[in-house]
């Protein structure tokens, strides 16, 4: 874990997030991620170190400056990196947010999830103060998932089943990468898995883009998807229909 006593490692803040949950969101990007997604647009958040050490109250004081813009649906979203790597800090942040009447959302890929009792105890405490989770499904196929992210996906799918059992609302997101995540058979397998869950409130397809290439170059990391094209609007719409079971 990247937690320090009472503080979180913060990469950056977005004050008017419009695609990070319902309404207008104050988005907090935390440091640290174990996945190495080949299309990652936040490669500069991978390290658990760096960023700025901040307390929960410091972040919430900043967030409340923009509260008048949130409306009834807005609030804070914590993304990354992978926010579950700082689960102790995240829980403190959300407990204090709830005490202030602030809506809470997590944007996660689920990689840190474990069915170990110690983790589940912490996770349940976090879920008690979490309104919504945005969960990224990178790939349904275990082998392709490992090639794409460097990690298996068994525990990620287990987390989604766990959340379903708890009745915790989730929005599902999948990045559509031509030739990698757009296979119709894989999309149908993903749709079948999603139909087995009872808590999916929304399914979104996010078209791949390569705008993060300069970040990779700055970090000195080879970008392996340079030749991958951006999917068309029609391809994204078709994938979304399949994932939603619409034909």
What are the phi and psi torsion angles at 222 (to 5°)?
Answer: -65, 135
How confident is residue 220, by pLDDT bands cut at 50, 70 and 90?
very high
Report the alpha-carbon distance of residue 129 to residue 215 in Å, rounded: 34
Per-position DSSP letters for 194-241, written without gaps between them: HHT-S-EEEEEEEE---TTHHHHHHHT---TTTTPPPPPHHHHHHHHH
Q: Tell me the average pLDDT across 187-209.
A: 96
Q: 149 with 37: CB under 8 angstroms?
A: yes
| Strand ranges inside the chain, DSSP E | 8-17, 25-30, 52-54, 75-79, 104-108, 132-136, 170-176, 200-207
Return the pLDDT at 247: 60
Taking alpha carbons only, the member of 84, 135, 131, 76 closest to residue 112 is 84
The per-residue pLDDT for 5 is 54
**Rounded mean pLDDT of 205-212?**
92
pTM equals 0.93
Tell me phi and psi for residue 130, to 5 degrees.
-115, 125
pLDDT of 7 > 50? The answer is: yes
- How high does pLDDT run on average in the chain? 94
The Cα–Cα gap between 77 and 104 comes to 6
- For residues 123-140, average pLDDT: 97
Domains assigned to the chain: 8-174+197-230 (3.20.20.70)
HSE (CB half, 13 Å, CA atoms) of 139?
Answer: 23
Of the candidates 56, 45, 50, the residue with the CA atom closest to the CA atom of residue 8? 56
Asked if residue 88 has pLDDT above 60, the reply is: yes
Average of per-residue pLDDT across 52-60: 97
In 3D, which of 84, 141, 76 has the Cα closest to residue 111? 84
User: Which range, of 2-6, 92-96, 128-132, 184-188, averages the lowest pLDDT?
Assistant: 2-6
d(CA 52, CA 49): 9
The whole-number pLDDT of residue 132 equals 98
9-43: pLDDT as tens digits: 999 999 999 889 999 999 999 999 999 999 999 99
pLDDT of residue 71: 87
State the pLDDT at residue 6.
81
């Amino acid at each position: 874990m990247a937690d320090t006593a009472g503080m979180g490692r913060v990469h950056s803040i977005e004050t008017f997030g419009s695609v990070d949950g319902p309404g207008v969101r104050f988005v907090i990007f935390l440091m640290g991620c174990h996945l190495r997604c080949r299309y990652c647009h936040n490669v500069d958040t991978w390290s658990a170190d760096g960023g700025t050490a901040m307390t929960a109250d410091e972040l919430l004081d900043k967030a409340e400056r923009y509260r008048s813009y949130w409306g009834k649906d807005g609030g804070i979203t914590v993304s990354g990196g992978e926010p579950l790597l700082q689960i102790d800090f995240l829980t403190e942040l959300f407990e204090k947010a709830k005490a202030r009447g602030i809506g809470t959302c997590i944007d996660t890929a689920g990689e840190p999830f474990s069915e170990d009792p110690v983790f589940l105890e912490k996770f349940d405490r976090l879920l008690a103060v979490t309104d919504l989770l945005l969960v990224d499904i990178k790939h349904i196929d275990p082998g392709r998932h490992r090639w794409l992210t460097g990690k298996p996906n068994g525990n990620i799918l287990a987390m989604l089943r766990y959340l379903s059992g708890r009745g915790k609302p989730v929005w599902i997101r999948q990045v559509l990468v031509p030739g990698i995540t757009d296979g119709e058979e894989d999309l149908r397998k993903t749709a079948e898995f999603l139909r087995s869950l009872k808590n999916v409130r929304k399914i979104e397809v996010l078209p791949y883009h390569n705008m993060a290439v300069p970040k990779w170059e700055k970090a000195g990391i080879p970008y392996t998807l340079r030749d991958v094209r951006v999917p068309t609007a029609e391809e994204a719409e078709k994938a979304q229909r399949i994932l939603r079971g619409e034909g």
